[in-house]
Structure 1
Amino acid sequence: MKQLHLIVTILSGLLLGAQSFNYRDRKDWGKNFPVCSDGQHQSPIQMVPDSKGEFPMYGTGGQIFDFNLLPDEIIMTNNGYTVELKPKWSEDTPRVTGGPLKGTYVFEKTTFHWSKYKGNGSEHTLYNEKTKKNFEYDMEMQMYFYKQEYKTFTKARNQKGGLAVFVNWLRLHEFWKINLAMGYPSNIRPPQALNGREIKTVQFTAKGHY
């Protein structure tokens, strides 16, 4: 069994409409879209570990299934806001369950976030107590899952707890400019307030075809 330590963001749904926002005005999203400033489900966030550089463990672990199954097809799209990879499987689709997740979540797509500056492209940041600075990466990969009971991503996205997002940080050997909507070179949002949320480490165990 392989074990993974991942950061999971559970979303309440209510994503911004694809044509209703842009990253030039990202600091004003809370004014223009109240859902982006209210509640306890905003992301990205700044993660501040304890004095040992660690986070407390979540009480129960989770399971990931069939993450080693290659898709039959992958569709890559630049939608003007991100680069999106949407795979398709003819058999089992990767899924996650357990830990803080209430139910089973099915993998839907992967998106990417970056800055025009190398080393400053991850949305979520990790605070380093020694340097008193945030540790950031070149790019952030976000893996979207929808709750299985809602059958589709479209139905789940507007439900409380309908989506879960796994975040992975990436280092790049080469750096390219990708044109986004309105010519903006970056698609990262500043870290949002935790609003009382506690960050914990969840231990995931791989099962199925892995």
Structure 2
Amino acid sequence: MMPQSSLTCCPFVMFIVFVLLLISAAGFPVSDEAYPSSAFEHWIYGKSNLKGTSWNKWYANSGAWANLTGSSCGGKQQSPININPRSSVRKTFPKFRFHNYGNIDRMILMNNGHTAMYSLQRKFPKGRIPYITGGGLNGTYEFAQFHLHWGNDSTRGSEHIIASKSYPGELHLVHFNTKYGSFADATAHSDGLAVLGIFLKIGPGENPYFRPVVDQLGDVLQNHDETILTNLVSFKDLLPKQTTSFYRYSGSLTTPFCQQIVIWTVFDTPVEVSEKQMNKFRKLENLEGEHLVNNFRPSQKMHDRTVF
């Protein structure tokens, strides 16, 4: 508590204290670091003229993203791409090492009007945060969030395509390079993020490991709905059975402003889910109350890049 004499002689100090109390009462985070996942793909929703417009319309007119002020969407290292296995360069990478990829409790699920996003709670123990090494990555990449892309039916939905073939969905596990100290600082560097892309295809039955991911989607049907998952999510069981075979290239975020800061790993072995499980994503709603579907960016030009 401040002495009364200080309160009397320092009105400026009192003003600052009052402003800080207002900020605290309004529920604003003291630091963006409390919400690292919001800096990836989704922060733009509240900071540009995308606000007030459904993502369905923005995906339908994705060619105009390059015209946004400050956008990199017209750059020469854009994602996603149509991966051509015949023209890719064969290279041997060390095996991936997936650390703390076991059961994760009480994840946050949010419908942000663009996708279903899954992130860790703010006070998640530092020593239990998932991270990856190896796989040809230079350093340690810490988990930030995962989200999905899907179509209005199972004929399309994935962002990356293989030899012009689309999958019903694609899961993105997003990590940041810890050598930069924080997620926000990592996004300023060309090797700042490492994203694991996992194709989803329709199988004969439900995938039990995806139940924690889809079972509570009914709780977040509307834009900006949020809930806490009651069941554990096993990260290692979201991965394909074969993680030693993948495509690697340098690319970008797949929403505005499309910063070219992503090392992409796209596994060529898909994960099977049921049609019923995919349909639960298609029931989500966007800002305008429409079904949130076809939330994938079309393939971008390769230019002079190499896919390994």
Same fold flag (TM > 0.5): yes
Structure 2 segments unaligned to the other structure (5+ residues):
1-38, 51-57, 202-273
> CA 1:160 to 1:143, structure 2 compared with 1: closer, same or farther past 3 Å?
same
Alignment counterpart, residue 303 of structure 2, candidates 190, 195, 201: 195
Structure 1 segments unaligned to the other structure (5+ residues):
1-12, 128-133, 201-210
Query: 3-state SS of the aligned residue for 1:145?
Result: strand
Residue 110 of structure 2 is aligned to residue 74 of structure 1: no
Distance 1:17 1:46 in 2: 26
Compare the two structures and name the one with the higher strand fraction: 1
Instruction: Using structure 2 for the length normalisation, give the TM-score.
Output: 0.52
What is residue 8 of structure 1 aligned with on the other side?
none
> CA 1:188 to 1:70, structure 2 compared with 1: closer, same or farther past 3 Å?
same
Amino acid at match of 1:39: K
Compare the two structures and name the one with the higher helix fraction: 2
Amino acid at match of 1:178: L
What is residue 84 of structure 1 aligned with on the other side?
117
Distance 1:71 1:114 in 2: 24
Instruction: Using structure 1 for the length normalisation, give the TM-score.
Output: 0.74
Distance 2:59 2:286 in 1: 9
What is residue 142 of structure 1 aligned with on the other side?
172
What is residue 153 of structure 2 aligned with on the other side?
117
Amino acid at match of 1:107: F
Q: Runs of 4+ in structure 1 displaced over 6 angstroms?
A: none
Shift of 1:136: 1.4
Q: Kindly report which structure 2 residues correspond to 1:123-162, keeping only aligned pairs within 5 A, or say none.
A: 123-127=159-163, 134-162=164-192
> CA 1:31 to 1:100, structure 2 compared with 1: closer, same or farther past 3 Å?
farther
**Which of the pair has more CA radius of gyration?**
2
> CA 1:100 to 1:194, structure 2 compared with 1: closer, same or farther past 3 Å?
farther
What is residue 275 of structure 2 aligned with on the other side?
173
8 Å Cα contact 2:151/2:157 also seen in 1: yes
Identity across the alignment (%): 28
Shift of 1:14: 8.7
Query: 3-state SS of the aligned residue for 2:67?
Result: helix
> CA 1:110 to 1:167, structure 2 compared with 1: closer, same or farther past 3 Å?
same
8 Å Cα contact 1:93/1:106 also seen in 2: yes
> CA 1:110 to 1:161, structure 2 compared with 1: closer, same or farther past 3 Å?
same
CA RMSD of aligned residues (A): 2.4
Higher relative contact order (CA 8 A, sep 6+): 1
8 Å Cα contact 1:109/1:145 also seen in 2: yes
